[in-house]
Structure 1
Amino acid sequence: MDNYIIGIGKRIKEIRKQNQQTISELAQKAEVSGGLISRIENGRTVPSLPVLFKIIASLDVEVTDFFKAMPHMNGSPFLVSRKADHSVIEKEDEAVGFTYEYIFGKQLSAQGFETVLLTVSPDSKRDQVITDAFEFKYVLSGECVYQIDQEEVLVCEGDSIFFDGRIPHVPINRSKTPCRMLVIYFFM
């Protein structure tokens, strides 16, 4: 089994023990079975993405902190994506003021993820979109409003937002400066 997948289970167990939680307590809080938690921790099964995020939330840890301390991946302690290798992603729609740069992607068992830098210009125009992924966005500079269905959420430098991309959404930059953010798509 992939070292990274096993690492997810080890990381869950590590945080659970730091929190002095039993498997049963974590399972109850995450609304899953204790047997599932045990199988995940021992690297015998891989949780679906929604279940993984429920477990992470039940551990009272931020998603970024959970993955920041992940162990080795594919026999290496890290994966590097060099700036010189980034490329601009061409989108089909006619969005004005949006630039997507491909940073990194990796297939983890059946779950894929992709990381991009998104710059939303003050003059940007776009309709709401739908993606077949959960989206995690970290604002590197500037600010924008995320319209998710009918709700609006202001995110500023240092803020992050995570949501189900199957809900119509769009970032709107109402400021006078570009908003730059790191975006991680977790494909289902």
Structure 2
Amino acid sequence: MSDTDQPGHVSEEAPAEVSVGRRLRRMRKNQGLTVAALGEQAAVSAGMISQIERGLSNPSIGTLERLRVVLGIPLTAFFEDRDDGAPATPAADLVRRADQRPFFQVGGNGMSKELLSPSGDHDLQFMIICVPPHTRSHDVMIGPGEKAGLVLEGRLTLTVDERATVLEAGDSFQFDSRKAHSVANESDESVRLLWIMHTKPQRAQF
């Protein structure tokens, strides 16, 4: 998924993209990393990291995955109140309440994501993605693991290894995430998609 570079609860703290940038900067500084050093290790340009930290760019899940691997934090740490992603309540590592879903924009094409995974470090991540009309994913995360999904609303085109398949509401899919893939909404109506990612507990390959 784009993992590029709508319904949901928006924190009063700040727009999600601003919160992500502020947390990224804090975690980077806590580990004594410069923007250049983090960028080199994560294979993300220093300019992109700087824009994310200043709230000028909406990072893709693929970009955040690269950054979180280097920082040694769970993906949810970018969206939680605590930098280390530790559960805020006793059940937060098991349950994500409907009114506490982090909601954030990704990339510059209007796609948005609503995180469903509970707090903490999990190999399995899932979310609801809203794909606006005539929008295609970019900067997808490719590496060991699997991805799967269920089209909740609309018509989606899924391409895996250059094989395109049109999916209707109610259709589901699953594939090896090492394969090149993308999703596209070629219709005039928005698509809502349940997206699931399982990553291997090892350094991701990009």
- TM-score for both structures, normalised by structure 1: 0.50
Greater fraction of residues in strand? 1
User: Considering only CA atoms, is the larger Rg found in Structure 1 or Structure 2?
Assistant: 1
- TM-score for both structures, normalised by structure 2: 0.46
